Amino acid sequence: MILNILILLFCQNQGSFLLIWKHESLLYHKLLSHLCHTKYETLEKLKIPSSEKGFIPSLNHYGYMLETPDEYSQKFINYAEKTSGFVLDIGAAYGVSTIPALKAGAYVIANDLDFRHLYLLWHRITPNLRERLSLKIGKFPREVDFPPHTFEAILASGVLHYLPVEELEEAFKKIFDLLVSKGKFFFFTSTPYLGLFKEFLPIFYQRKAQKEKWPGLISNSWIYAPHRKDHIPNRINLLDEETLMTLFLEIGFQIEEKSYVAMVQYPKDIQSGGKEYIGFVLKKP
């Protein structure tokens, strides 16, 4: 594998690429610091935030990483163990799914829009696992490019619902193109039934009755969840089963598995009776 000796870093505020050898020298840190206008000492002080009952805040206010893999991320990890090519983790954060996939023997490309997340991920793992990890920094889908038919499996857990609607559709189509034939897409996301947004449900039901394409789109999430304002963006697209099935089938995916997922082990304000999240396993014919 060519990628097993290189790390690809993209700094979104610089708009340029840097290929560097995977090693632990001071030069590595200084190059990264220079590229992204971040002091070396600042990088050295980076730490993963503390967990709140299994929820670990991101550093860029785009939600949380779960402390342990969700049900559909675990399916991705189990499937990745059987692959011989590359798998992609979109919105990898600190590596909740990337690291187990690496330990299972997979070749993983971890993507995140914040280079600090991937920096922390990199420093969480041992040198032998780094031989099968490559990093890709940028916002999927428009800042992240690979040749078609690159991946045997792709995971997007708790990330794509933050995209504008036009980019969300684009992301699903791009994922379809990036998969090899018979490749699988593992998707996990928040639904309109999430406890945080229970006051939004009447609006969601009204939009469903009016057959709106995006009934779960919220542009003022901080009104519904002011106590989470520091950790979630104001715009969020909560996705239900019918909306997602329509999109996936139109693109050409085959649906292998789908289910709502309860999050009873997480903070009380997240819970709402078993339909807080939804997951899909999708196959490209």
Residues 6+ apart with CB under 8 A from 202: none
pLDDT band at 275; cut points 50, 70, 90:
very high
Q: Specify if 28 maps to a domain.
A: no
- The answer to whether residue 34 scores a pLDDT higher than 70 is no
% pLDDT > 90, the chain = 65
Give the pTM: 0.87
CATH number at residue 117: 3.40.50.150
pLDDT band at 238; cut points 50, 70, 90:
very high
Residue 24 pLDDT = 43
Q: Specify if 40 maps to a domain.
A: no
Mean pLDDT, rounded, for 152-175: 97
Contact 237, 278 (CB under 8 A): no
Q: Could you tell me the residue range of the domain that residue 91 belongs to?
A: 51-283
Our count of domains for the chain comes to 1
Q: Specify if 22 maps to a domain.
A: no
Q: Specify if 14 maps to a domain.
A: no
Strands 236-237 and 133-137: unpaired
Residue 12 pLDDT = 40
Q: Specify if 29 maps to a domain.
A: no
Range of weakest confidence among 14-23, 76-85, 243-252: 14-23
Range of weakest confidence among 80-89, 116-125, 162-171, 245-254: 116-125
The residue ranges of DSSP E strands in the chain, in sequence order, are: 6-11, 16-21, 55-57, 64-66, 86-90, 107-112, 133-137, 151-157, 179-190, 217-218, 236-237, 254-261, 277-283
pLDDT band at 165; cut points 50, 70, 90:
very high
The neighbour count for residue 143, using CB atoms within 10 Å, is 14
